[in-house]
Amino acid sequence: MATDCSLKCEEVVLTKKTLIEKLTKINIICDEVIQLDKGLKIEETVNKVGFSIALIDTSASPFGYDSEFLANDFKYNQSLNFRIDNDWDSI
C-alpha cells in the first residue's frame, strides 16, 4: 500500500535543477533521475527516505483542480508528487 501526495502549481515554478539543489540541501543526493516525456521521476529516494518524487508538466491536461477549500477551481501547469510506500522500512 502507498500514499500519494501532490502539490499542484498554477505556474511552472520548479525545474529539474532547482529540485535537485533543494534535495541536496537536505542531504538527499539523487544520482539516478529518470527522465519522463513531460517531467522526471526520482525513485532512489525510496530506500533513503521512504518516498519517490515526480515532477510533471501538466500544462496540456484539460482538467483543472477542484477543491472544497478553494472558492474557484484552477488550471495547474505543474505537479510535484510524492509517493510514500507504507512498507518502505521493510524493503
Which of helix, strand or coil describes residue 26? Answer: coil
Amino acid code (one letter) for 64: G
Q: Would the pLDDT of 61 be above 80?
A: no
**What would the grid cell of residue 40 be?**
522526471
pTM of the predicted structure, to 2 decimals: 0.72
- The C-alpha cell 529516494 sits at 45
Give pLDDT tens digits for 20-42: 998 899 898 888 899 998 899 99
In the structure, what pLDDT confidence band is assigned to residue 67 with cuts at 50, 70 and 90? low
Distance CA 29, CA 69 (A): 35
Phi, psi (deg, nearest 5) at residue 67: -140, 150
* Mean pLDDT score of the chain: 80
Residue 49: per-residue pLDDT? 83
Percent with pLDDT over 70 in the chain: 79
Residue 23: Cβ within 10 Å count? 17
